[in-house]
Structure 1
């Protein structure tokens, strides 16, 4: 596939010029079990650049996830990491105001307590196609070990009650960190990335049966040869290149394909979900079904719209890109305020984006806190 760069002039281009270094063609050959697919992507700018609209900001606590109920609540989550912390999940009630979700009691977990009925360290919130809300709790404070038996996926009722909980005990390792989720409402399955060890957890939501697959497969592990350069330097932790594994995940509107990628490289993969739902297929057989789609961007989260367009971040160049059905990539919005676009939600004609400033944390800056206030949620109207 080949697409040509269109030169588009729009208001504000000069202000964003510093961010445009990464808008270059990237070509790769992706090998599947059936054929070889050559994908060429050239980042380009849409004719009408989208504009960011600030909808929520927090000057004190680091957020990661966002979920918007159609016509309803805006939910935001905060992991229990190294900075100040108060609530795990909140409902944003105004530009800066919030209330704990579903209540204060669920948000008050203490070390040594069981984590089955409380939020321990929530990483993601998600609203599925039936407008049902899910909360994903890796229960690994400070990104360390799973604690309190609290690693779980929780389905919430419309009234904001814990309706059903799916425990990951015995399925993931105690060093795992379940990160992001997508739900196939029609088939009753959930797919969840494990960003610390690399893998995908498949959950039969009706029976509760689950397993982790593609554990340490090349598609779920960050490429060791890729240098994740942001703000002119490689992201480092403890003197070594920082590596985050399978993180972003997205389900096509028909539920037939699961797209996913490691965070700290620019490769994108997909697998037909029929294979993931086939419990008789072992990891070796599943690995042969993975399709390497080539190089696109470094992103944290990703999401499909109803038309089949895939939205990813570009952490290195402060932008959001759109990949169409032919895997051609365009820039939706580019703005220096996109400080580590983290998670995404689509509702009411908008793409909601959380910005977590992860690259500015002290552990990635030799102990220096380079984060600025506030942590933010933006939205962009979709074409």
Structure 2
């Protein structure tokens, strides 16, 4: 794997000082403490001894879906349903048959995440950035699949202004009540707001400090700062994203620092709201932990994965944190989350810090890649 493939990930990250008005400081604390609950039991749901996975989604009837990004040459299917412990390409083999050089408009190219909603649909985020490179042939998209029929309901595509070649759409949260979806751009930073009824979309907060990773934070999931092959430090912008249960606030954060931000969704939904107003209304909640994905439960608790401490943390509505499970052997870059109706938090582990990108081109994976769940 050519280590240069990840250079696009760092584009514009060295110029993090150029941003709009600073977010409002909602939490005066410089750092929040973490209490510890009794260690929850990690139950293995699925394992793959060959391919690196990043996302997991569980449907109402406990159907489990997993996705695999096209980051390394060792890649096959992009989205699978787990049946009897085995991966079955979903929704069919054709959508999972992409090869470099082919048209990626109606096939999965580089699927970053999968999410189920409250209406019986699976949402597939195809960033289309092979090896975290530029978007392949304008083929980034969000695919909405009807889980009752296993048929594609709609494909959302993006104009250049919202989904240009340097926009790596990373994760999505869907608000069916108001008809909107929100995605993070983890490359150059920003939030893509998608009207799921009209298909209209726009990229906002692209110049806000809230979507930029703090260049002074020392991100160290292996006990020392994670460096790319060219010796530069890994810096990933807006990545984790979550909607409050009432859909009134969108929470988000850069991956490689510990700050958390939020903004009212009614401002995002109004496409007439200008950037100055949006920036003014971003709330800086303070310093917490580094995390990749994150998700709210119905009670307003936010679940995050502490990438530097191999643990899962619950943040209560009053912003207090509790470690609910820690496991240095199993929780290797807890990546994405999904909550089942019967009260389990599903956790995918992508082992990103063990990729060849950070180890002179040599894989350090502790295979198999696994999905776990814990009772919450």
**Aligned partner of residue 148 in structure 1, secondary structure:** helix
1:32 Cα offset (Å) = 5.5
Q: Match for residue 297 of structure 1?
A: 289
Q: CA RMSD in A?
A: 1.3
Partner Cα distance (2:298, 2:73) in 1: 37
Alignment of 1:152 with 2:126, yes or no, is no
User: Is the Cα contact below 8 Å between 1:109 and 1:118 reproduced in 2?
Assistant: yes
User: Is the Cα contact below 8 Å between 2:115 and 2:173 reproduced in 1?
Assistant: yes
User: Is the Cα contact below 8 Å between 1:114 and 1:149 reproduced in 2?
Assistant: no
Partner Cα distance (1:284, 1:114) in 2: 39
From 230, 243, 249, the counterpart of 2:235: 243
**Aligned partner of residue 284 in structure 1, secondary structure:** helix
Q: Which ranges of structure 2 fall in alignment gaps of 5 or more residues?
A: 1-21
Alignment of 1:349 with 2:338, yes or no, is no
Q: Match for residue 15 of structure 1?
A: none
Which digits, 9 at most, give the CA deviation of each residue in 1:273-307, with x for residues without a partner? 01111211222221111000011110000000000
User: Is the Cα contact below 8 Å between 1:67 and 1:345 reproduced in 2?
Assistant: yes
Structure with the higher fraction of residues in helix conformation? 2
**Aligned partner of residue 136 in structure 2, secondary structure:** coil
1:113 Cα offset (Å) = 2.3
Partner Cα distance (2:130, 2:308) in 1: 27
User: Is the Cα contact below 8 Å between 1:50 and 1:333 reproduced in 2?
Assistant: yes
Which digits, 9 at most, give the CA deviation of each residue in 1:195-243, with x for residues without a partner? 0110100011111111000113111110001010122210011201101
Which digits, 9 at most, give the CA deviation of each residue in 1:94-118, with x for residues without a partner? 33x1110011111011223222211
Partner Cα distance (2:215, 2:23) in 1: 21
**Aligned partner of residue 363 in structure 1, secondary structure:** helix
Alignment of 1:134-283 (within 5 A): 134-157=123-146, 158-170=148-160, 171-237=162-228, 238-283=230-275
From 102, 107, 117, the counterpart of 2:106: 117
User: Is the Cα contact below 8 Å between 2:23 and 2:209 reproduced in 1?
Assistant: no
Equivalent residue pairs, number:
349
User: Is the Cα contact below 8 Å between 1:62 and 1:83 reproduced in 2?
Assistant: no
Partner Cα distance (1:278, 1:169) in 2: 18
The TM-score normalised by the length of structure 1 is 0.89
Q: Which ranges of structure 1 fall in alignment gaps of 5 or more residues?
A: 1-30
User: Is the Cα contact below 8 Å between 1:56 and 1:94 reproduced in 2?
Assistant: no
Alignment of 1:129 with 2:123, yes or no, is no
Partner Cα distance (1:148, 1:120) in 2: 10
Alignment of 1:77 with 2:70, yes or no, is no
Partner Cα distance (1:169, 1:114) in 2: 18
**Aligned partner of residue 129 in structure 1, secondary structure:** coil
User: Is the Cα contact below 8 Å between 1:56 and 1:377 reproduced in 2?
Assistant: yes
From 94, 104, 115, the counterpart of 2:93: 104
**Aligned partner of residue 209 in structure 2, secondary structure:** coil
**Aligned partner of residue 138 in structure 2, secondary structure:** coil
**Aligned partner of residue 37 in structure 1, secondary structure:** coil
1:36 Cα offset (Å) = 5.1
Q: Match for residue 369 of structure 1?
A: 363
